[in-house]
Amino acid sequence: MDKISKLSRLLIDDRHAALITSDISRKYLCGFSSSAGVILITREQSYLLIDFRYYEKAKERVTDCRVILMEEMRSQLMDLLVKHGISVVSVESDSMTLSEIERYKKNFAFVTFDTSKALSDKLSKMRAVKTEDEVEKITAAQRIAEKAFDRLLNNIKIGQTEKHIAAMLNYYMAEYGSDGLAFDTIAASGVNSASPHAVPTDKKLQDGDFLTLDFGAVYDGYRSDMTRTVAIGHATDKMREMYDAVLSANLDAQKAAKAGISGKLLDSVARSTLDAWNYAEYFKHSLGHGVGLEIHESPVAGPSSADSLKEGMIVTIEPGAYITGKYGVRIEDMVVITADGCRCLTRTGKGLMII
């Protein structure tokens, strides 16, 4: 069953419709990227209203709903609502502004708009479980990122700035086919590596630094996410110990990941391992998150997570340890949840690399 048909079955009755307005949801439901347009989903028929910039391509590629050239959206949408006898329209409240919602209410006063989180929550749950095609696209993005990382390792030198490192990595991903950056690349060295979400600076790499690289590529809209921490020149015994502690937490969490485990319990597995190494107090963020058309999606694996992992979900496993004023380590992989375990999508090795 295609995604639009699956969503239409969640409608309450024939007088209920769903209005999709966000770029991400349009891409997810009909597989077509555009910066404008709406999808109207009813039980009888679904429609993609799209402007002239995308119309011809959409007609070629979109098969799950009827494609209509959007000329005067208000009147065209009104005609469709009347045609199908729609009285209630659910909207994506999580991705709409209050002014947008009010404008729809004013323009279509003859229907009731459901502005609860119901539609957004349904879409989030659907997107959390990936299809085989989605897994393939995320894997393709991951392979691009890995290829870029491998090339970067041969070009890192003492004296280069974090900004330089990040720029090289971004360029390599683009050269190998990435459609863009999955998120702003993190390149953090020395004391800056102790900040989980550091922004690349003019700090130069020095002998004895840890260098943490967190980055991802994009393939047909789908994103990848990985982190590796390498040592520049040499690593002290304490640095190696911290690295081994984080690596152990990563491996133990992957062993525990499977359908049915809660995100909270999976997070606690990694924390327990870090606690055994006396590094739990330095783990300052959640263990992981879903990845797909957005870099942060459902589910969440963290101390307060209420999510339960299901077969087909993709989640990051990214334990870390960060000592302010010294250094930090993070090792991140993406895994696909299976019935009795997980499959790691990240092929890059995780042993400590000294550059």
Please report whether residue 352 resides in a domain. Answer: no
Q: Cα separation of 226 and 149, whole Å?
A: 10
User: Do 296 and 213 share a domain, yes or no?
Assistant: yes
Per-residue confidence (pLDDT) for residue 281, from 0 to 100: 97
| Percent of the chain predicted with pLDDT > 90 | 96
Q: Do 228 and 256 contact (CB within 8 A), yes or no?
A: no
Per-residue confidence (pLDDT) for residue 16, from 0 to 100: 96
Of 78, 98, 127, the one marking the end of a domain is: 127
pLDDT tens digits, residue range 70-110? Answer: 999 999 999 999 999 999 999 999 999 999 999 999 999 99
The residue ranking higher by pLDDT, 323 or 6, is 323
- The range of the structural domain enclosing residue 104 comes to 3-127
pLDDT over 90 at 186, yes or no: yes
pLDDT tens digits, residue range 141-159? Answer: 999 999 999 999 999 999 9
Please report whether residue 349 resides in a domain. Answer: no
Q: Please list the helix, strand and coil fractions of the chain in percent, rounded to the nearest 5, in that order.
A: 40, 25, 40
Query: What mean pLDDT is reported for the chain?
Result: 96
pLDDT band per the 50, 70, 90 thresholds, residue 184: very high
* Mean pLDDT, range 255-277, rounded to an integer: 98
Please report whether residue 350 resides in a domain. Answer: no
Please report whether residue 257 resides in a domain. Answer: yes
User: Do 81 and 163 share a domain, yes or no?
Assistant: no
Of 66, 94, 127, the one marking the end of a domain is: 127
User: Do 266 and 157 share a domain, yes or no?
Assistant: yes
Q: Cα separation of 207 and 90, whole Å?
A: 57
Per-residue confidence (pLDDT) for residue 104, from 0 to 100: 95
Question: What are the residues whose beta carbons fall under 8 Å from the beta carbon of 9, sequence distance 6 or more?
Answer: none
Question: What are the residues whose beta carbons fall under 8 Å from the beta carbon of 132, sequence distance 6 or more?
Answer: none
User: Do 232 and 307 share a domain, yes or no?
Assistant: yes
* Mean pLDDT, range 243-266, rounded to an integer: 98
pLDDT over 80 at 192, yes or no: yes
User: Do 179 and 71 share a domain, yes or no?
Assistant: no
User: Do 70 and 40 share a domain, yes or no?
Assistant: yes
User: Do 148 and 205 share a domain, yes or no?
Assistant: yes
User: Do 145 and 73 share a domain, yes or no?
Assistant: no
Give counts: helices (H), strands (E), the chain: 10, 18
User: Do 316 and 234 share a domain, yes or no?
Assistant: yes
CA distances (Å), origin 268, targets 13, 272, 302, 304, 338: 42, 6, 8, 10, 20
Question: What are the residues whose beta carbons fall under 8 Å from the beta carbon of 229, sequence distance 6 or more?
Answer: 193, 210, 211, 212, 213, 243, 246, 328, 329, 330, 331
We report the CATH number of the domain holding residue 136 as 3.90.230.10
Please report whether residue 320 resides in a domain. Answer: yes
* Mean pLDDT, range 327-336, rounded to an integer: 98
Which residue intervals of the chain are DSSP H helices?
A: 3-8, 23-30, 55-61, 73-83, 98-107, 118-128, 132-153, 162-175, 237-256, 263-276
Per-residue confidence (pLDDT) for residue 24, from 0 to 100: 96
Of 127, 149, 166, the one marking the end of a domain is: 127
Per-residue confidence (pLDDT) for residue 12, from 0 to 100: 87
pLDDT over 80 at 182, yes or no: yes
The pTM score is: 0.94
Dihedral in degrees, nearest 10, Cα atoms 68, 109, 36, 4? -60
Per-residue confidence (pLDDT) for residue 10, from 0 to 100: 86
For the chain, how many structural domains are there in total? Answer: 2
Which is it for the CA torsion 167, 168, 173, 174, positive or negative?
positive
- Other C-beta atoms closer than 10 Å to the C-beta of 106 total 8
We report the CATH number of the domain holding residue 113 as 3.40.350.10
pLDDT over 70 at 311, yes or no: yes
Please report whether residue 275 resides in a domain. Answer: yes
Please tell me the least confidently modeled range out of 5-9, 42-46, 242-246: 5-9
Please report whether residue 59 resides in a domain. Answer: yes
User: Do 108 and 145 share a domain, yes or no?
Assistant: no
pLDDT over 90 at 47, yes or no: yes
User: Do 116 and 138 share a domain, yes or no?
Assistant: no
Per-residue confidence (pLDDT) for residue 264, from 0 to 100: 98
* Mean pLDDT, range 11-21, rounded to an integer: 94
pLDDT over 90 at 135, yes or no: yes
Per-residue confidence (pLDDT) for residue 1, from 0 to 100: 63
Query: Reduced to 3 states, what is the DSSP secondary structure of residue 137?
Result: helix
